[in-house]
Amino acid sequence: MARLSNLPDWLIYSAALAILLFAADTRRIKADAPAPPPPVPGEETTPLSPLSPFNGAKILKIPADSGRFATAFSIGEPGVWLTAQNAVKDCVTLAVVLAPGRGAQAKVTAVPGGQLAVMTTEGGAAPLPIAPGAHGHEDSFIAGFPQGQAGEAAVRLLGASFKGDHRRFNPTEPELDWAEIGRTDGLKGPLVGLEGAPVLDGLGRVQGVLIGEAPRRGRMAAAPISAIRQAMALAKVTPITQADSEPITTDNYGRAADALRRDLRVAQIWCGG
């Protein structure tokens, strides 16, 4: 039997790389979340419930074959939302989707730092709590609407970096870089439409906002806590820091994301050109 020390270096390195890739792939499979339940069917003409917090909002018809979709989340009542700046750029019409084909008219009220955008609607949902720390937790979760459908991802923190077009607005504002370790079961390809989604720590508190993705590398970029707090200050919203849900783990993050979408605390947004 040949000794390990007599084997070529390239063979040893190749074997080590194969083991690492296998381990990473196995870990990702374990972190995948079950597919969300199908959306509840509804008619575009069905009136809103008298108890709906959006009863005073102008309801828009949302065509499925035009415009673009992204994600936003509630940061204050009534009707204050946060999303990625690139999700609402050049929008002529903007809406928070309430049901298939219908949405509450929204408007952008602030674009702080070039990373994020504050939106407002008539009526809204309960705000998500904001993490008190300046740095993200190692393992976190992103809930939103990738590819126009309900979905989520599990991510691991890589670190902070300075890059992106927003640097010309605020060159000192970093981005948090994350590696994807799991996603909704059956969801393939780039996570288009997840822009603006909250990055949640294990207690369900927002610690970042997704602003970009490098699909081939399995990497995502998020605006940090400092950018979130700047946006909330401009919106005159006081952050809520107390966690108000059960801890989120790689075993239950799909169910946690479903609950946030059901309560419209995380919502799909539509941008019409």
User: Containing H/E element for 256?
Assistant: helix 253-262
> Alpha helix locations (H) across 32-147?
85-88
More confident residue, 113 or 21: 113
The residue type of 175 is: E
- pLDDT score for 143: 98
Asked whether residue 185 carries a pLDDT value surpassing 90, the answer given is yes
Residues contacting 92, CB < 8 A, separation 6+: 272, 273
What are 29-46's pLDDT values in tens digits? Answer: 458 888 876 665 554 445
- pLDDT score for 35: 80
More confident residue, 268 or 17: 268
- pLDDT score for 216: 85
CA separation for the pair 240, 259 (Å, rounded): 19
CA separation for the pair 141, 127 (Å, rounded): 17
The DSSP output letter for 234 is H
CA separation for the pair 222, 239 (Å, rounded): 19
- pLDDT score for 55: 81
What are 236-257's pLDDT values in tens digits? Answer: 999 999 998 899 999 999 999 9
Asked whether residue 19 carries a pLDDT value surpassing 50, the answer given is no
pTM: 0.82
pLDDT bracket for residue 28 (50, 70, 90) = very low
CA separation for the pair 100, 81 (Å, rounded): 20
What are 116-174's pLDDT values in tens digits? Answer: 999 999 999 999 999 987 665 678 999 999 999 999 999 999 988 765 544 433 445 67
The DSSP output letter for 265 is S
- pLDDT score for 147: 96
3-state secondary structure of 176: strand
